[in-house]
Structure 1
Amino acid sequence: MGREEFISFYKPLLNFTDDEWTRFINTMESRLPSALRITNTKFKNKIEIFFLKEKLISKNKFFRDVYDTVHKGTSHKDFIINQTSVGHIQKQEIVSMLPVLLMGLKENHSVLDMCAAPGSKTKQLLEKASLVVANDCSSKRLNILISETCKIPHASYLVVKHDASALPVFKTDFDRVLCDVPCSGDGTARKNPQILNNWNIGSAANLSNLQYRILKHAINFVKSDGLIIYSTCSLNPIENEQVVLKAIMQDDLEIVDLRKFIDHNISKDFVMRDGIIIKDENGLRTNFEDLKKCIRIYPHDNDTGGFFIVGLKKKSVQEKDFRPKICKNNFCEITDECRSKLEKEYSLEKKTLICRGKNMNTIYETTPEILSTINNSKLNIMHVGYKIFEQCNLNLSGYRMKNVFNKNFDVEISGSEPIRAKMVYKEFRKGSVVVRLVDFDVLIGGFSYGNKISLYISNNLQKALLDFFN
């Protein structure tokens, strides 16, 4: 068991030359370079300028908006911590970005992330897709996911907790279904050297049945012209090509070559290897050439972790058996009385506002599509939309804006002093206000006392904003 078993299994399987095998195993035993991604917010350009000006980190040569965190420095460390805390930066391994980058995602697409936690790929999805449902079976990991993904508000977002292989069927199907399944993770050995030390073939064999069941179940959620993305951070064909082959042979699926979705976000120099032609469950070598359309990422090719990814689609249209009990659940729309109070203070337009049961302390914004989805008694719902109002005693509505949704603003301010003080001395009518921060072209909430305005700025946001004045 361990490194020797890893070598005896993979060396004949991968069929590298002696020189390439040496490079492969040396890379597997070296430290993984860290990377970060600049998220798509109004702060994106400012962060890019900061990085280039300070020359603290360098652009990744393969991926757009990705930087290699190779340089050290206190200012660099503090800046990244502050911007990460509010969602402007995401630390993420390069290969883990591939499933979202290679799924041909469009802005009008809906996506189901079946094994979502801790959420780095979910955050990628939320930046582009019109609707995202994230699922995981671990409460602890889901708490991390919710905390991370809610740094940036998204109304059309739902988090549920289920075993991915038994996730209840939804009323509507999805354009994309991501199955980034639990795996043995030997592709991540550069982050965790103990993986090689403890490696054994049984780890993969024990997981392959669960991986297949999740992939098979994904068929119930994807549109007839949609796409399933299956991925692992394992190099083992037992968890990869063998699972895919079983799905193709038994479940009316066919492989889609995801290379066709390569665009300006990925360099053509990024090496993607073909899938391996493997033996079937009876030990017979298959001639299923389509397995070559699978994508393998080897650590020594691009100085990354190891990864496997493949696209699958239905061969034929299947009838859906959907019989949920439509009923009230933990979340419901706010009362007419509450909406009436809010409309006296805020311009709500036609926003879909909900609360958790009878608890009116926090009000969430979501979308009609998500509201329809959550009316399913079988769903174990953990989070919906984003927090838009919190109870307070400052105004007649009894609520203050948690996140600003207005396109218009009442007051403009500039400079660092109001941000440091979380206060600006300015005469304005009493009540809730929307303040534009001129230096960033972003809006925040506040409350005017008549002669001064208190700014709703969290400590994390305060630090992130002040970074650009230092």
Structure 2
Amino acid sequence: MNLVPDDEWDAFLAALKEPLPVTFRVTGFRTHTFAIMHLIRERYFQPFESSTTIDKPKELNFSYRYPGSLAWQLNLSRNQLRSSPELQKLKEFLYEQTEHGNISRQEAVSMIPPLVLDIQPHHKILDMCAAPASKTAQIIECLHRDESNPIPSGFVIANDVDNKRCYTLVHQVKRLESPCFAIMNHDASNLPNLKTNDGNILFDRILCDVPCSGNGTLRKNPDLWKKWNPGHASSLQSIQLRIATRGIQLLAPGGLMVYSTCSMNPIENEAVVSQLLQTFQGQISLMNINDKLPGLRNIPGLKKVPKNMQSLVRPNMFSPSNDILEQLHLEQCIRLLPHHQDTGAFFVALFRKIDKTLDSSLSIQEETSQKRSAEENVFNEDGANFKRARYHRENPFIFFEEKDIKRFWQDISEFFGVDSSFPADQLMTRIASDSGRNIYFVSDSLKEIVTLNQDLY
């Protein structure tokens, strides 16, 4: 299929037969993460230094984005873990700290999409297909990178179509104790517009990590060797394209959106990117990811569907014209292969929505044409089929009123020594009768969103 260079085929195949290494990153505020990493180095990495049979811990190639070397890879087999008491202690420590939210165990290549988004504390961020939450947690960590500002003005909206997976999201993300995230349960291809006092929200950053055939996870899920067939990609491509299209519609001018999959199939990858670039011509552009991740080994995106896949491809999956393909610059996408960094396989493309106010090079004719194209691609919320009946109905959130603050919050705050400047009006609970049992605190930005969008839940 020409997905792997000929001179790398043997190394690629050999890597697929090996178990996937353990990868983890230390999470939290800087001073806290440095303390945790120091403990790991001093107490748990020592057995590796004197061993001749165990590979030493390997710092991830792109961990320069994690100051203090906070992302690591351990190439350990189950037999090694069982036979070494020191390694068993490391395993137990990793499990324990994962439960406490100090460590996140995450496949190395899946850390890349949030990294290339260059998230800042003021950004409004959407994670369209968020479960099981490893990337969502990474985004929240980036949002809180400024330790002097514990409650940033930005926020994360994490969405998933599956209600049970949304509860998994809650379980995973609540460990970070951030007041700046909310979880939605909607079909990502039909996400409703979220309202604020200034109008509908357009997001500064969007992570579009879509459902895929998953053939890039063969090392982690060996059962896929028996189940995989090339037709899986064709059946998923339409929903992938619809989700990514809705993502572009929700992206603010000048904003960035990552499209990613753990698939090696170009029908799920470059074909979707190609369709997006043609549909939103003049409104979005591909960005060079290699500039953001120097030192990361990868191969460029493909420009054409391999010949032996042509029978599986519908006409609209790739542009019929070579001239158009040249203009799309699909080589700016990146493909990560298992033998490059001893990881799974992954595909990443980074889009930027063009800010017309900053682009003075457009002629009046071009601007009118692009405006007409943009109007044709506006999401029709009234005509959308949200299929709300499929979703589990949740009790609404109710924010504390003055009577609640006087009735019982005053006693709680005095008992725990909470400062009088604490914004008690940003506390909420599920139902009025539950007020004193489960209390949640959110940022003022999220309070506004929850209050103005109660019709969505």
What is the TM-score when the length of structure 1 is the normalising length? 0.72
Matched, 1:331 2:383: no
TM superposition shift of 1:321: 7.1
Q: Is 1:33 the equivalent of 2:62?
A: no
Q: Could you say which residue in structure 2 is the equivalent of 1:66?
A: 71
Corresponding position of 1:227 = 256
Q: Is the 2:397–2:428 contact (alpha carbons within 8 Å) kept by the matching residues of 1? A: yes
Counting matched residue pairs gives 360
* Shift in CA distance, 158/32, structure 1 to aligned 2, threshold 3 Å: same
Please give the per-residue CA displacement for 1:254-296, whole angstroms capped at 9, x wherever unaligned: 212223333xxxxx33202110002563773634241000011
Deviations 1:364-392 (A, max 9, x none): 11122112212224423xxxxxxxxxxxx
1:118 aligns with 2:129: no
1:164 maps to: 188
2:158 is the counterpart of 1:134: yes
- Which of the two has greater helix per residue? 2
Contact preservation (8 Å) 1:168, 1:378: no
1:342 maps to which of 403, 409, 412: 409
CA separation in 2, counterparts of 1:212 and 1:102? 21
5+ residue gaps, structure 2? 48-55, 64-69, 82-86, 144-153, 196-200, 306-314, 357-373, 383-393
1:269 matched to 2:316? The reply is no
Counterpart-to-counterpart distance in 2, 1:306 and 1:300: 9
Contact 1:160 1:379 in 2 (8 A): no
Deviation at 1:63, TM superposition (A): 3.5
Query: Cα distance 1:336–1:44, how it changes in 2: closer, same or farther (>3 A)?
Result: same
Are 1:205 and 1:238, in contact at CA under 8 Å, matched by a contact in 2? yes
Any residues of structure 2 matched to 1:150-229 within 5 Å, and which? 150-171=174-195, 172-229=201-258
- 1:48 positional shift: 1.4
Q: What are the ranges of 5 or more consecutive residues in structure 1 without an aligned counterpart?
A: 1-9, 263-267, 381-470
Deviation at 1:50, TM superposition (A): 2.2
Measure how far apart 1:322 and its partner are: 9.1
Distance (whole Å) between structure 1 residues aligned to residue 340 and residue 96 of structure 2 = 33
Deviation at 1:332, TM superposition (A): 2.0
1:96 aligns with 2:110: yes
3-state DSSP class of the match of 1:51? Answer: helix
Contact conserved, 1:115 with 1:134, CA < 8 A, in 2?
yes
Contact 1:87–1:151 under 8 Å retained in 2 = yes
> CA separation in 2, counterparts of 1:323 and 1:77?
48
Q: What is the CA deviation profile of residues 17-36 of structure 1, one whole-angstrom value per residue up to 9, with x for unaligned ones?
A: 2x411111221222111111
Distance 1:195 1:144 in 2: 24
Q: Judging by fraction of residues, say which structure has more strand.
A: 1
Deviation at 1:310, TM superposition (A): 0.6
In structure 2, the residue corresponding to 1:261 is in which secondary structure?
A: coil
Could you tell me whether the CA contact under 8 Å between 2:156 and 2:181 is conserved in 1? yes
Aligned counterpart, 1:429: none
2: distance between equivalents of 1:59 and 1:338?
53
Indicate which of 410, 432, 440 corresponds to 1:364: 440
| Separation in structure 2 between the aligned mates of residue 282 and residue 128 of structure 1, nearest angstrom | 35
Q: Distance in 2 between matches of 1:194 and 1:125?
A: 30
Q: For the structure 1 residues 308 and 29, does the alpha-carbon distance in structure 2 shift closer, same or farther, using more than 3 Å as the test?
A: same
Greater displacement, 66-75 / 88-97: 66-75
Q: Aligned to 1:236, what secondary structure does the other structure show?
A: coil
* Corresponding position of 2:289: 258
1:312 matched residue in structure 2 = 351
Greater Cα shift, 334-343 or 295-304? 334-343
Report which stretch shifted further, 122-131 or 368-377. 368-377
The 1:321–1:198 alpha-carbon spacing in structure 2 relative to 1, beyond 3 Å, is closer
Secondary structure of 2:438's match? strand
**1:119-154, CA deviations, whole angstroms, 9 ceiling, x for partnerless residues?**
000000111223100000112211111101001211
Once the two structures are TM-superposed, the CA of residue 251 in structure 1 deviates from its matched residue by 2.4
Q: Distance in 2 between matches of 1:315 and 1:47?
A: 41
- AA paired with 1:189? L
Distance in 2 between residues matched to 1:16 and 1:69, nearest whole Å: 27
Deviation at 1:61, TM superposition (A): 4.1
Matches within 5 A, 1:416-427: none
